[in-house]
Amino acid sequence: MAYQVFIDSWLLPVTPPEIKMKIKNLNKTVNLINESEVNLVKLPGLTDISFTALLPNIRYPFAAYLNGFQRADYYLGLLEALKTQKRTFQFIVSRALPDGMVLAESNPNFTVTLEDYQPSEGYENGFDVSVAVNLKSWTDYGTKTAAVQSDGSDGQPAVSAQNDRKSDPARIAVGSRVTVSGRLYRDSYGGGPGKVLSNYSGVVSIIANGRDFPYHISDSGGGWLGWVAAASVTGVG
């Protein structure tokens, strides 16, 4: 399949025909005292991602499944869990040429939240379910605590700041920078063993909790490498 769409660690069985991404504008236009108008340029806002996907209730030759056929209610349950657990997850579009080469540099890979989803049924879908999904990109953030003290010389205050949210190298999450020493696998169950990495600096792109090889590793450019065992990964502070 040339295009594959992953939500969290699971694959959509049928790739949506269209995926829309809107990068929010935060620029602000103001009027000056001379009645002229200027534009204050700011960094872009969060990205909105929307698509409609088909969830089959019968097996089709064009549908793809990582671990066997599942009906529509299985995927609706996964979406419900993402919403009720109130957590971030990874949204990845994998593009590959007919010769199998993955176009890593152009593959969207976002940390997102699930904003809403709308299942629908209609005669045009037969026994199947259609679901409209809206995601929003997520950016990590934190506060800083400022301590004001006199330096004891000229009486001027000295200000120091520290992050309230400290990095924990032991906690591996999607997007974590890690050092990998171990064998790569095609899937999180250990299928398709590949090459062995040694002290490789990579990034965790997907996490499949409960699997034998729960961490999917990508290179710094987003190119996919494979799945590894938890013991093969060390967080980088």
Instruction: Give per-10-residue mean pLDDT for the chain (237 aa).
Output: 80 92 91 90 92 94 87 93 88 75 65 93 89 91 64 59 52 83 87 88 82 85 82 84
Structure tokens at 123: 């005669």
Exposed, middle or buried by CB within 10 Å (0-12, 13-18, 19+), for 76?
Answer: middle
Give the residue numbers spanning the domain of 224.
Answer: 177-235
Q: Does residue 65 sit in the same domain as residue 181?
A: no
| 51 inside domain | yes
Is 110 in the same domain as 52? Answer: yes
Could you give the number of structural domains in the chain? 2
Verify that 74 and 130 share a domain, yes or no. yes
Same domain, 52 and 122: yes
Q: Domain for residue 188, yes or no?
A: yes
User: Amino acid letter at 4?
Assistant: Q
Domain shared by 17 and 123, yes or no: yes
CATH number at residue 70: 2.40.30
Q: What whole-number distance in Å separates Cα of residue 127 and Cα of residue 108?
A: 31
Residues 9 and 69 in one domain: yes
- Give the model's pLDDT for residue 181: 93
Same-domain pairing of 107 and 8: yes
The answer to whether residue 80 is domain-embedded is yes
88 vs 86: CA distance, rounded Å: 7
Distance between CA atoms of residues 18 and 21, nearest Å: 10
Does residue 183 form part of some domain? yes
The answer to whether residue 156 sits within a structural domain is: no
Residues 96 and 11 in one domain: yes
Residues 13 and 66 in one domain: yes
Encoding tokens for residue 63? 């549908």
Phi, psi (5° rounding) for residue 106? -115, 10
pTM of the model: 0.64
pLDDT at residue number 9? 76
pLDDT of residue 102: 62
Inside any domain, residue 170: no
